[in-house]
Chains A and B, each alone.
Chain A
Amino acid sequence: MNKDFKQTIKNRPGGENLSLCYSCGSCTATCPVSEQVEDFNPRLIIKKSLLGFSEEVLSGEEIWQCIQCRRCVSACPQNVRFADIVRVLRELAVEEGHFAEDLEERLDDYDKEVLRYRLEILEEVLAGDKDFEDFSLKAGGD
């Protein structure tokens, strides 16, 4: 356990509000990635970071799965800003050499998957099959 991990994140731009989290789970509940990817759980990433499991968090794939849509930022009742925290975690992962060699490739595939999914939705909306309101991505932050 790395007790300073929390403070390291808080010291970087975007990570300041990490410890404000009270684990309500709004971030996970609103996350389009979580909806698709079972293991992607922002609430858990924050909790593990707070507890100091730096190795596990930084070496894991999850922090790279975030698509930075910032829904979590607008859904969070405590302004924790998970999307920004993820960016800090990515920085730290790169700095500390947790970026595996094949990761870039896998992430590329992953991005393409996500893009395809977004196009599908867009097509449905344009075809009038779905109400656009249901997909309105709120601009994040305050």
Chain B
Amino acid sequence: MPDPVVVVGGGIAGIQAATDLAEMGIPVYLIEKSPSLGGRMAQLDKTFPTNDCSTCILAPKITSCYNHENVTTYTMTELINVEGEPGNFRVRLKKRPRYVDEEKCTGCGDCLDKCPVSISDEYNMGMSEYGAIHKYQPQAVPNVAAIDASECLKINEDKCGVCEKICNFDAIEYKQKEKKFVVQAASIIYAAGYEGFSGDLVSDYGYKKHPNVVTSLEYERILNAAGPTDGHVIRQTDGEEVENIAFIHCSGSRDRRTDKNYCSSVCCTYSIKHALITKEHIKDVNVDLYYMDIRTFGKGFERYYNRAQETEGVNFIRSRVSEIEPGSNPGDLKLKATDDDNGYCEQEYDMVVLASGLEPTQQVTDSLQKLKVRTNKYGFVDMDEFNPLSTSRPGIFGCGVVNGPRDIPESVMDASGAAALAGQHAVLDVKDMGVEAAGDQEFRVTQNERTRVGVFVCHCGTNIAGVIDVEEVKEKAAGIPFVEHAEDVKYLCSSDSQDLIGERIKEHNLNRIVVASCTPRTHEPLFMDAIAEAGLNPYLLEMTNIRDQGSWVHKEEPEKATWKAFELIRAGVARVKNALPLERGEVDNIARALVVGGGAAGLNAARELANLGFPVSLVEREEELGGHATSLKHSLEGRPVKPHLDRLIAEVKGHELIDIYAGHEIKDITGFVGNYKLELIPPVPKEVRSDKDLVEIEGGVVIVATGGQEFEPLEYSYQDSEQVITQLELEEELSSENQSLVRDDCEEIYMIQCVGSREEDRPYCSRICCSQALRNAVHIKENHPDKDITILYREMRSYGYYEDLYRKARDLGINFSRYEVDNKPEVSRKGDELTLKYEEPLSGKMITAKPDLLVLAAAILPREDNLTLSQMLKTPLNEDQFFLEAHVKLRPVDSATDGIFLAGLAHGPKNLSETLAQSRAAAGRAASILSKEYLLTQATVAEVDEELCIACGDCERVCAYKAIEVNEEENVAEVNRVLCKGCGNCTGVCRPHAVDLNGFLNQQIIDEIETLLAKDDSEFAKTGGV
């Protein structure tokens, strides 16, 4: 067993890191200070740029992390200090009293309404109230109540005690004390998240003074259907629906007065999200966004911005708002701003949302101090750009917003990358870890038995029994065909009830179970375990939801609710009698990674995987390793790239676990997760090459790190003048000895941004050009202060700390002028003389210059052969021909195909440091597969009846996972159980009903339907029962 890792922070970053480590077979202690996992993401309504529901995508991740056998979660727990060294840390923790026994509390919620105290609801940003005993959020994980000691009458004054009286589980413990304890850890991942800027950071905006000025996090809750206003955008002052709303970008960010000169990176895009969702909520609402530069630099964000601007009618006003004053009507707000054309302007609104930036919480700052981790001037973890995710203290790694402002996918990338690094200290014993127990347990053979169904009906205290006549339901259930035993239980989820189910299975030789209680979404795993414990195949279970979708929603109609419960149980019996015992299959997994691409991304991914103990085959088409990074002079922080790259190449070349196939091209790729084959063409001249020379390599995963390429501009005289070069060419120039272009008589240098990016036919931002131009300009200016440098830009996208670089450039006297996309600068050439003309939009002046050097920020393009590679890998590209991730938010390094991971420019534009971080993430994700001796398939996968299949191929066409294919030789569709996710789309489309979905068989659903519509037991669908 490897040594454990401590993960501090139970938000999305911590959850991802913990899950990746756990999947590698490493035990994890997950520490969360609040009573529930989920973090900030759980508070968000939707996520950009897809407007996905945040809870929908997050909740399954939280649950699977919390339930993971290798994860031990400590909620309400904080770090005291850390002693020791990598491989042997002693982490001192303190768990605050919850005053509720986490083991005993079932989350039934009986106590919640009864608490006489009302306190501010932290989850809803204080905009609503809950009791002193409450669940931190409706979908809390663990689903357990907590008592706020400072407000509880019993704890403070020894009065009340009503929750204790009401609790049927004896779970209330007013006498709980703070607990201090120590855990051993090989390494630590710090993922404690952030705080939104306080609304009053910019005092001129009158937050708190004007109740209708809210922060963006508050607005997330306002938009949320489960939030304080049930998703209605109404004003706090008068409850009126908003007709006119403004969003103020950079509310505290990019502001020296707040000591936060950095750009918070996410506010532009989330404000666009807010604008779009507001438009969805309210017809005809006017939405104005006040901004300085729109920084939609992430993957797919520019399209999102275009959509908001062009088709959704969101107004973008380029101005910082100086202050907010009361408007002419009560509650209204007057904003003072500057119009591009007319100067001073003011406008009134019903509500104003401050796009508050991200900063480390005070607790983060304190904890980092306790951890003896160095922070930067803004209080974030100080990070070496060549060694991202590592902190100044060996063995401690940062992920998420503690590393600096970043969005969810970047935090998730950080997390997987941090897991790859932290895992290296945990001393993985490859092949002795993470092997899931499949088929370990022998289940009773029930196929030849008579159908004997056991029905268990839960009271859930009064939650069900208060409305539904559980006794009557049980009596009736006993009379349903095939039912051998029916029983009602006070709380089925309690551990003694689990034992009881086991006893009854043995006692009555039951071979099918129906549990009528709460929702299978949370409780199915529990009851599956319970019946598996009793030797019954866990898939012979059916849950009927008579609480969440029964007693709770039909309180006023107890008779109907009772009848409905009975009908659901009867249909459940009809369904479960057709259930088949299912098993998860095992597939061999080759513990070797195939890395395609020998640039910075590929090299780094290979190194981290090898350091984790996995053999790697690295394929590079060129003879030399290093890729794109070889032409970079300096990093964006201004440090030389070459020494770091040379060291990385040397490490990879010298690593005994890494085989390098330089000069090899890929001929073909076959296989699937656990079992990929690459056929390589070696560097043998074509004339003498034969098929025998082809090299075949095998591995369980593929990492795609094939890089990108620079756009070759056709505009701005690039093609016909040597004085016009790209930023990358400038870097090469700056790295070379003679620097002929930046010679003494080169006095005036112009740079043009967005050349080939953010255009109609290439509507994405190349992300790095602004900071790269700034870096190069600063470098030249620092060495040659006499040179006059001007940067012509559309939006200056110096996100994160690059804003400091932008400030430095201005401070050095570098000129900045904007241009409009429909009025681009014009460049002409006469002999050696370049003429540049552009219109400065603020002054409206036409400006003419004679630059001696013109540097173009050429777009980053996808490689031309991405399409061929994607077809060989059977994994899709996005609209811009970069490799598409499985999920833009939560699976940013996974491709849509299992076992294929993405890193670097192949996935989209990003700078060197981000590439290194993402390649670490790819390594972490890959390791979570490589560490398994066998891969387990899902049990509820599609299955083809060969007799019925007509090989039409409809199933193949609709399958998003390429998991079902027509075998042309046999003329029948075949399911790849490894790839199948069990969505049933093939089953839905199959005309001859040849494909069926295990666990959701056609016959099961048909019997369920028929029985639901049966007037009495005589119409009970009897198919399949014996």
**B474 located at the interface, meaning its Cβ lies under 8 Å from any Cβ of chain A in the complex:** no
Contacts of B807 in A (CB 8 A): 20, 78
Of B257, B342, B813, B816, the contact of A77 (CB 8 Å cutoff): B257
Among residues of B, the one whose C-beta sits closest to the C-beta of A23 is B842
Q: Are B343 and A34 in contact (CB under 8 A)?
A: yes
Of B256, B319, B325, the contact of A79 (CB 8 Å cutoff): B256
Of B257, B806, B843, the contact of A53 (CB 8 Å cutoff): B843
Among residues of A, the one whose C-beta sits closest to the C-beta of B790 is A51
Closest 7 CB pairs of A and B: A25-B338, A29-B322, A30-B322, A24-B320, A34-B344, A41-B343, A77-B255
Contacts of B321 in A (CB 8 A): 29
Q: Are A75 and B811 in contact (CB under 8 A)?
A: no
Q: Are A77 and B320 in contact (CB under 8 A)?
A: yes
Among residues of B, the one whose C-beta sits closest to the C-beta of A48 is B843
Instruction: Give the contacts of A1-40 with B (CB-CB under 8 A).
Output: 1, 3, 6-7, 10, 19-31, 34-35, 38-40
Instruction: Give the contacts of A108-137 with B (CB-CB under 8 A).
Output: 134
Contacts of B326 in A (CB 8 A): 134
Contacts of B337 in A (CB 8 A): 25, 29
Q: Are B847 and A1 in contact (CB under 8 A)?
A: yes
Beyond A25-B318, A30-B336, 4 extra complex contacts between A and B, CB < 8 Å: A10-B813, A19-B811, A29-B323, A30-B322
Q: Are A24 and B292 in contact (CB under 8 A)?
A: yes
Q: Are B322 and A21 in contact (CB under 8 A)?
A: no
**B165 located at the interface, meaning its Cβ lies under 8 Å from any Cβ of chain A in the complex:** no
**A50 located at the interface, meaning its Cβ lies under 8 Å from any Cβ of chain B in the complex:** yes
Q: How far is the CA of A7 from the CA of B323 in the complex (A)?
A: 31
Among residues of A, the one whose C-beta sits closest to the C-beta of B325 is A134
26 contacts between A and B (CB under 8 A): A7-B813, A19-B815, A22-B810, A24-B292, A26-B320, A28-B338, A28-B343, A29-B323, A29-B337, A30-B322, A31-B344, A34-B338, A35-B336, A35-B346, A38-B342, A40-B343, A40-B344, A41-B338, A44-B842, A48-B843, A77-B250, A77-B257, A77-B320, A78-B256, A78-B807, A134-B326
**A47 located at the interface, meaning its Cβ lies under 8 Å from any Cβ of chain B in the complex:** yes
Q: How far is the CA of A4 from the CA of B949 in the complex (A)?
A: 81
Among residues of A, the one whose C-beta sits closest to the C-beta of B260 is A77
Given contacts A47-B840, A48-B843, contact A29 B815 (CB under 8 A): no
Contacts of B170 in A (CB 8 A): none
Contacts of A19 in B (CB 8 A): 810-811, 813-815
Contacts of A41 in B (CB 8 A): 338, 343-344
Closest Cβ–Cβ distance, residue A63 to chain B (whole Å): 15
Residue-wise interface mask of B (896-926) relative to A, using a CB-CB cutoff of 8 A (1 in contact, 0 not) = 0000000000000000000000000000000
Q: How far is the CA of A44 from the CA of B326 in the complex (A)?
A: 28
Q: Are A29 and B796 in contact (CB under 8 A)?
A: no
User: What is the total of A-B residue contacts with beta carbons within 8 Å?
Assistant: 105
**A43 located at the interface, meaning its Cβ lies under 8 Å from any Cβ of chain B in the complex:** yes
Among residues of B, the one whose C-beta sits closest to the C-beta of A28 is B338
**Size bracket, chain B contacts:** 35 or more
Q: Are A20 and B810 in contact (CB under 8 A)?
A: yes
**B204 located at the interface, meaning its Cβ lies under 8 Å from any Cβ of chain A in the complex:** yes
Q: Are A25 and B320 in contact (CB under 8 A)?
A: yes
**B845 located at the interface, meaning its Cβ lies under 8 Å from any Cβ of chain A in the complex:** yes
Contacts of A24 in B (CB 8 A): 292, 319-320
Q: How far is the CA of A29 from the CA of B817 in the complex (A)?
A: 21
Among residues of A, the one whose C-beta sits closest to the C-beta of B848 is A1
**B788 located at the interface, meaning its Cβ lies under 8 Å from any Cβ of chain A in the complex:** yes
Among residues of B, the one whose C-beta sits closest to the C-beta of A38 is B343
Contacts of A22 in B (CB 8 A): 254, 292, 796, 806, 810, 816
Among residues of B, the one whose C-beta sits closest to the C-beta of A134 is B325
Q: How far is the CA of A140 from the CA of B816 in the complex (A)?
A: 26
Among residues of A, the one whose C-beta sits closest to the C-beta of B807 is A20
Closest Cβ–Cβ distance, residue A66 to chain B (whole Å): 14
Q: How far is the CA of A19 from the CA of B813 in the complex (A)?
A: 6
Among residues of A, the one whose C-beta sits closest to the C-beta of B840 is A51
Q: Are B813 and A3 in contact (CB under 8 A)?
A: no
Among residues of B, the one whose C-beta sits closest to the C-beta of A4 is B788
Q: How far is the CA of A41 from the CA of B345 in the complex (A)?
A: 11
Given contacts A7-B813, A19-B813, A77-B257, contact A26 B842 (CB under 8 A): no
Residue-wise interface mask of B (789-833) relative to A, using a CB-CB cutoff of 8 A (1 in contact, 0 not) = 000000010000000001100110111111000000000000000
Contacts of B342 in A (CB 8 A): 38
Q: How far is the CA of A86 from the CA of B1014 in the complex (A)?
A: 87
Residue-wise interface mask of B (181-213) relative to A, using a CB-CB cutoff of 8 A (1 in contact, 0 not) = 000000000000000000000001000000000
Among residues of A, the one whose C-beta sits closest to the C-beta of B252 is A77
Q: How far is the CA of A5 from the CA of B20 in the complex (A)?
A: 58
Contacts of B254 in A (CB 8 A): 22, 77
Contacts of B320 in A (CB 8 A): 24-26, 29, 77
Given contacts A30-B323, A75-B322, A77-B256, contact A47 B843 (CB under 8 A): yes
Q: How far is the CA of A39 from the CA of B806 in the complex (A)?
A: 30
Instruction: Give the contacts of A48-67 with B (CB-CB under 8 A).
Output: 48, 50-51, 53
Closest Cβ–Cβ distance, residue A11 to chain B (whole Å): 11
**A95 located at the interface, meaning its Cβ lies under 8 Å from any Cβ of chain B in the complex:** no
**A142 located at the interface, meaning its Cβ lies under 8 Å from any Cβ of chain B in the complex:** yes
Q: How far is the CA of A19 from the CA of B322 in the complex (A)?
A: 20
